[in-house]
Structure 1
Amino acid sequence: PWRLRLMQERSKPPEQNTVTARPALRWKRFLIRRIFFWVRSKDEPEYFARASVSYDRCLLPHETREGKKANNMELKLNFENRSCGVSVFLPEGTKPDKKALDELNRMMELEHTVECMKKAGSFFKNPDSAVRKAAVTPDFHKGAGIPIGTVLMTEGFVIPQAMGNDINCGMRLYTTDLKEEELEGKLSVLLPEIRRIFFEGGRGIAMNGIQREAMLREGLTGLLETSGEAAGTGIWRFYDREEQEEELERTAFKGSLWAEETEGLEDFIGDAHTLTYDDQIGSIGGGNHFVEMQRVAEIYDGQTANAWGIKRGAILLMIHTGSLMIGHQSGRISQMITRGLYPKLIPHPDNGIYLLPEGEGEGREWRRFRSTTGNAANFGFANRMFLGLMLQNAVENRVHPFEMKLLYDSPHNFIWEKESEGRKSYIHRKGACSARGMAEMEGTPFAYYGEPVMIPGSMGSSSYLLRGMGNPDALWSASHGAGRRLSRGEAIHGSDREFQEFMKKFHIVTPIDPNRSDLKGRNDILKKWEESLRSEAPYAYKDIDKVVKVHADHGMAGLVARMEPVFTIKA
């Protein structure tokens, strides 16, 4: 019946329920492609959705793990002359962003790149090298070459650009025994102390070259082994070796990826035995990165919440940041490696996306890539850990000592290895969380519930804690946020009324205190401060509630709790 229906649809002109993305003109190939989406109309009883480029295929009705019909739009993009389709999960009534779709279309020329490189000679050690599968999470939006929210599975090679330059940008979530009224009553003295520690030279993260090199080569394990070098100094007063060792089990990769080298980081490492301070570690970074105290507003899964120490009204600490300039340095090195290895006798990819064949341990460039990526990832784990200690310092200075326990720390910009049926593949996530289910989390503290998934909303809106359900159609992945609705430039010129209402309701700590008397006449500084906040205001992002609902409807991740902000720290 669905084939007959497909033929009938083709014979009709497009109806109101057709969403059309205008074609992108490719100047080098002069090829115009038109992407059509046929989506379910509201009164249609059967769920039916499809999408294609040139050659159309139908996606059969989708059911959730519980056997219920899904109410959200799931599209399958099948690109012309490509064997790999893209599974797309979007909230009901949401139209895919045209710019992101065009970027996704160009990205999928990866298959053509693989074919050309196979013909050029022995580039791949694995003759079965291919892009195996692709998926797009509900916060899908345009990125830089590869859309945010893209997940790719490859065999025989990796794509460094498919994890972005902010390598190991990720989330860290702590539970605490603090009460909201304790914080609310002390905000007038707590927020200035936070500004001092985070932005006015109060971090107190002293390290020598031995520690920095250990951090870059071995991650959190390296810091643990060398923590005695700065014991009792500055922030190290809050570094508890026993707690940190326990936290390794609640950190992806145990926060420790082995790196043979520290290429290009000699100046950052510094003298082996001299304690110094640097301007990188303990930084939040720009954009949508933040540190936030949150109140648990709702519990959806009492059993999981109780096991994870989450209670209604409790205060949690959520941290979102990455590897900053260390990651960008690593990205530049990876780009040099992939460009240098590219066969000279064939044209370079039109989409500018390069591949790196797996080296099976002995390949020089493969080891170099693993090292530089490991340096950045290790820095990212350490950066989030230190940010947690910095906030602990501020709260204990102005409120009182409290207990803080790590729930989980995980990247959403990285490449994971996956073994299945004797074959090794690589899962690339750019702006997408790992959301593995119980089976995939065997041997970890989360084997009974699934992987914790942290999905923050925009600044000032709710954030969610979920548990991974291991949906292979979504490549065991989930969103990393709400996803942009407006570009930063568009958001800056957004509604004045909405922005003023937002500023009245929420407590935000930034490097600049707009109430300082000496800034009253500095409209240039205050304008830049306001623009940076406007670019991340709630109206710039999609509705987080709708984004999260898709995960539950499609068996990607199950809801555990919803949190609301108490205060937010933004750089």
Structure 2
Amino acid sequence: MSHSLKRLIKALHKQGLTILKNNNVYQIGKVDDSKFPPIEVLLPEHFPLDNKALKQLINFAGVYHPQGGVVNTVKATPDFHAGSIVPVGAVVSTSNNFIIPQAIGTDIHCGMRLHVADIEIEQWQSKKLLLVKKLRADLLLGSRDLPMSTSSFKALFQYGLLGWLDKVKNKPLGDLRFADINQLEEELENVFELGSESGSNHWVPENLITDKREVVRDAALATIGGGNHFVEFQLLDDVYDGKQAFSWGIKKNQIAVMIHTGSRGVGQYVGNYWIDKAKKAWPTKHKYPENKIFPLYGELAKNYLVAMNSAANYANLNRLLLAEIVRRRIREVFGSNIEMSLVYDGPHNIVTHEKGSFIHRKGATPAHKDQPVLIPGSMGHSSYLMKGLGNEDYLCSASHGAGRAKSRHEMFRLNRDGKDLGVGCIDCVTLKEERIVEEAPVAYNNIEDVIAVQVKNKIVTPVAKMKPLLTFKG
């Protein structure tokens, strides 16, 4: 047992908490408190247990509301690390009508999208610079042209991509005139919940649905965002499950496009509103919770779910449009016959209603039986396409990446000290050079270890591996 783990056990003991390690699983409980929910953290053998992240996870286990509701179970995936309030890689199950907005935060429905294209690697290399020139303008300089009718935005927020497509198919505007709308409609089968949650226009920014004008130009739509979000080109390097890969339309040596982004300004608007509302709605006769985490119970929880779904619908459109920008440029450079079909689009920052409980996933991917699961590495390491096994012991959830090993502050310190950050092997297009330092390969855990421990514990099984070729960072 390491010295740091011994210190952690001693510190937890003073709080009346116990910690046991069983193979790769840390189990945390509370002495003489049957109401304290079980906490489990799954980590590769040599990964340290992040003390700050664990404290944050324990705080969420203790969340309550005076009017009712309980936390049932708390889990953490192998990319577990500390966040501002919520640890990334947290999966929290609560009772019906009991939701914790802070467990999701403001990047609502952030997720991954994966497309594949039949392009030979030699052809890719020979025309890459032309593609980069076109996409740099679209993705980083704002040259895209995506006006939206307010009626299509209203349909999006209320009905999701199904409603949005119904509005735009008859009169596509701007760059959407070049899109194959029928293909977009068919691909909804490969989007989580068809990209169409039950939302409402009541909770979204008014400027996107105003009746004062017919067409809106939203500067945030079809943008990557900052931090670890990206658009990445990859080579489908290996296939482990040929039968499953064939059914999902993938094969070795294809070019893959992986997109990681979320709900942008809409998520910020909805998330901040409800985090603030939960605090204001706290019953006045009761003390504020010591952990400063404010849940919602009853009707307010139901309303939050509708508001969150509205932002989720926007996130789905954001990823769809980013992919459509890439698809258009791919066809211009490599040929109009390139299909660039969608493999899957799924979230990892969302609340879902499953078997009478609300499952809060913060940086954790749904991994139900036979469901595609996208787990990217850093921009210098491989990413994986997995298949979920529906393991209910882990709340049908997998990691959403390798997990951050070093903070952004630490990365800048290492860079100042002249340390090797592993950036020699990457090809990154960005307007902000600090992104390369913040998101350098050294900042992240070993993706192979993160994948292996989840395979060992029967959470997911591997289908294919992709190695990075070129990454766009916002």
1:433 corresponds to: 365
Q: Percent identity at matched positions?
A: 35
Gapped regions of structure 2 (runs ≥ 5): none
Question: Does 1:476 find its partner at 2:396?
Answer: yes
Q: Structure 1 residue 56: deviation in Å?
A: 4.0
Question: Does 1:318 find its partner at 2:263?
Answer: no
Q: Structure 1 residue 273: deviation in Å?
A: 5.7
2:164 corresponds to: 223
User: C-alpha distance in 2, partners of 1:135/1:245?
Assistant: 36
Partner amino acid, structure 2, of 1:536: E
Q: Structure 1 residue 281: deviation in Å?
A: 0.6
Find the partner of 1:498 among 401, 417, 420: 420
Partner amino acid, structure 2, of 1:456: P
Question: Does 1:452 find its partner at 2:372?
Answer: yes
Question: Does 1:394 find its partner at 2:345?
Answer: no
Q: Secondary structure at the match of 2:148?
A: coil
Q: Structure 1 residue 304: deviation in Å?
A: 1.3
1:418 corresponds to: 354
Find the partner of 2:446 among 543, 547, 558: 543
1:178 corresponds to: 119
Partner amino acid, structure 2, of 1:552: V
Q: Secondary structure at the match of 1:35?
A: helix
Change in Cα spacing, 1:185 to 1:485, as seen in structure 2 (3 Å) is same
Find the partner of 1:54 among 8, 16, 26: 16
Which whole-Å deviations, capped at 9, do the CAs of 1:263-304 have from their partners, x for residues lacking one?
351113345763342211101000000011111111122221
Query: In 2, are the aligned partners of 1:319 and 1:384 still within 8 Å (CA)?
Result: yes
Q: Secondary structure at the match of 1:436?
A: coil
Q: Structure 1 residue 245: deviation in Å?
A: 2.2
Partner amino acid, structure 2, of 1:433: T
Q: How does 1:143-222 map to 2 (within 5 A)?
A: 143-156=83-96, 157-222=98-163
1:130 corresponds to: 70
Q: Secondary structure at the match of 1:107?
A: helix
Query: In 2, are the aligned partners of 1:432 and 1:479 still within 8 Å (CA)?
Result: yes
Q: Structure 1 residue 334: deviation in Å?
A: 1.1
User: C-alpha distance in 2, partners of 1:321/1:109?
Assistant: 30
2:28 corresponds to: 77
Question: Larger Cα Rg: Structure 1 or Structure 2?
Answer: 1
Query: In 2, are the aligned partners of 1:262 and 1:371 still within 8 Å (CA)?
Result: no
| TM-score normalised according to structure 1 size | 0.78
Partner amino acid, structure 1, of 2:228: N
User: C-alpha distance in 1, partners of 2:460/2:359?
Assistant: 18
Q: Secondary structure at the match of 2:352?
A: strand
Partner amino acid, structure 2, of 1:539: V
Change in Cα spacing, 1:452 to 1:343, as seen in structure 2 (3 Å) is same
Q: Superposition RMSD on alpha carbons, in Å?
A: 2.1
User: C-alpha distance in 2, partners of 1:559/1:228?
Assistant: 37
Find the partner of 2:341 among 405, 419, 438: 405
Q: Structure 1 residue 465: deviation in Å?
A: 0.7
Q: Structure 1 residue 135: deviation in Å?
A: 0.6
Which whole-Å deviations, capped at 9, do the CAs of 1:44-100 have from their partners, x for residues lacking one?
xxxxxxxx96354767x6xxxxxxxxxx51111113435311111101111111211
2:268 corresponds to: 328
Query: In 2, are the aligned partners of 1:172 and 1:408 still within 8 Å (CA)?
Result: yes
Which whole-Å deviations, capped at 9, do the CAs of 1:133-161 have from their partners, x for residues lacking one?
11100000001211100001111311111
Query: In 2, are the aligned partners of 1:230 and 1:275 still within 8 Å (CA)?
Result: no
Query: In 2, are the aligned partners of 1:190 and 1:399 still within 8 Å (CA)?
Result: no
Q: Secondary structure at the match of 1:259?
A: coil
Change in Cα spacing, 1:272 to 1:246, as seen in structure 2 (3 Å) is farther
User: C-alpha distance in 1, partners of 2:115/2:152?
Assistant: 25
Partner amino acid, structure 1, of 2:358: Y
Q: Secondary structure at the match of 1:494?
A: helix
Find the partner of 1:101 among 54, 77, 83: 54
User: C-alpha distance in 2, partners of 1:555/1:355?
Assistant: 32
Q: How does 1:267-416 map to 2 (within 5 A)?
A: 267-271=207-211, 274-359=214-299, 365-401=300-336, 402-416=338-352
Query: In 1, are the aligned partners of 2:365 and 2:398 still within 8 Å (CA)?
Result: yes
Query: In 2, are the aligned partners of 1:436 and 1:468 still within 8 Å (CA)?
Result: yes
Q: Structure 1 residue 547: deviation in Å?
A: 0.6
Q: Structure 1 residue 235: deviation in Å?
A: 2.0
1:67 corresponds to: none
Q: Secondary structure at the match of 1:296?
A: strand
Question: Does 1:88 find its partner at 2:41?
Answer: yes
Partner amino acid, structure 1, of 2:136: R
| Structure number with higher relative contact order (C-alpha < 8 Å, ≥ 6 residues apart) | 2
Q: Secondary structure at the match of 1:105?
A: helix
Query: In 2, are the aligned partners of 1:150 and 1:431 still within 8 Å (CA)?
Result: yes
Partner amino acid, structure 1, of 2:391: N
1:489 corresponds to: 409
User: C-alpha distance in 2, partners of 1:350/1:18?
Assistant: 26
Q: Structure 1 residue 370: deviation in Å?
A: 2.8
Query: In 2, are the aligned partners of 1:435 and 1:477 still within 8 Å (CA)?
Result: yes
Partner amino acid, structure 2, of 1:567: L
